Structure 1
């Protein structure tokens, strides 16, 4: 069923940022992401930082949180890291990070809060508050749940010029034909960032 987010237009916006292949996969069948990591460039990193700068809160599932915590928690002070990595790390380390998990109870990554509540209930209340947009990176299981519950307002899809043929699809229960394209940004390596929202009912 096509749904509208008209009722949430005046509320805090939830934005998904996800790398996907041309045929709609967010990872290979065994969670392979080499096609994404190998294609990442300084140009893309600068754009990602610009988008994150508009937000103040990040949502994670457990697996993505653990991976990003291990990578980013010390990047801000690692002078051997590229300058764009350090800039992104300083932002992400300072932001509120909400982690939806039934097993994690704490983390050493600063400003991280473990949430054991139903994500849909918690996020609906979060979106009622005043504030900047909320970002979500990766976190496939959480994303699928949020799509099913009509809670994502904007999709920033980094589409890579590659087809996997099999793996984990981003859209499992909702047709991507229900998305409305609002903007695009092309990168020199062939990746295109598509900005989508769900179509509005007339």
Structure 2
């Protein structure tokens, strides 16, 4: 049985929106506001996480963001992401271009439960926060990993919006580079909704 792992880059006040600045928000580009040594450490962490995982899971918008960038990139992380099986929860996505992509068109909770049952290993969820909101409420997330960037933005789409009111138990704390911190949590409590 697989494990659903949410992996998110967040500001210190849990904003996840517009990390690269491509969405054009006033606070965009915060992901890039770290020292070069922190960028290198973050890249090492991302590669380690991808190597340890079995598959990727996305909502449509998160998939489109990744699929428009990663297939054209070079390097070990790009190769790993491209080679991994990818699953997309979407009723509208047709003919995905990124190789090894399967579109799951049914109910998100049912599709993810079935995916979990037939997959051995970690299934990473990247950049798919509407999907994460549903999965966390349905208690389908086994671990939440937050790579905290040392910037407070004050506005923007936050992780778990609207608030999920779900207790999270600390599973780990790890310094990444000089200024980044990886926080790991496991959700607690029975499923709702």
Same fold, judged at TM 0.5 (above): yes
Equivalent in 6, 13, 16 of residue 23 of structure 1: 13
Give the structure 1 partner of residue 122 of structure 2. 133
Which stretches in structure 1 are left out of the alignment for 5+ residues? 1-10, 77-85
Give the superposition deviation at 1:173: 3.0
1:83-137 CA distance string (max 9 Å, x none): xxx1001111111111112221112211011221111001111112251111100
Alignment of 1:52-67 (within 5 A): 52-67=50-65
Name the structure 2 match of 1:8.
none
Alignment of 1:26-175 (within 5 A): 26-27=16-17, 30=25, 33-39=28-34, 41-76=39-74, 86-171=75-160, 172-175=162-165
Which whole-Å deviations, capped at 9, do the CAs of 1:19-71 have from their partners, x for residues lacking one?
Answer: 11111221269495410134361111111111111111101111121121111
Asked if the contact 1:106–1:113 (Cα under 8 Å) also holds between the matched residues in 2, the reply is no
Structure 2: 5+ residue stretches without partners: none
Contact 1:182-1:197 at 8 Å conserved across structures: yes
Matched-pair contact (CA < 8 Å) for 2:14–2:158: yes
TM-score, reference length from structure 1: 0.82
SS in 2 for 1:175: coil
Which is further off, 106-115 or 32-41? 32-41
Work out the CA distance in 2 between the residues paired with 1:153 and 1:198.
7
Moved over 4 A (4+): 28-33
Cα distance in structure 1, aligned partners of 2:178 and 2:44: 14
What count of residue pairs does the alignment treat as equivalent?
181
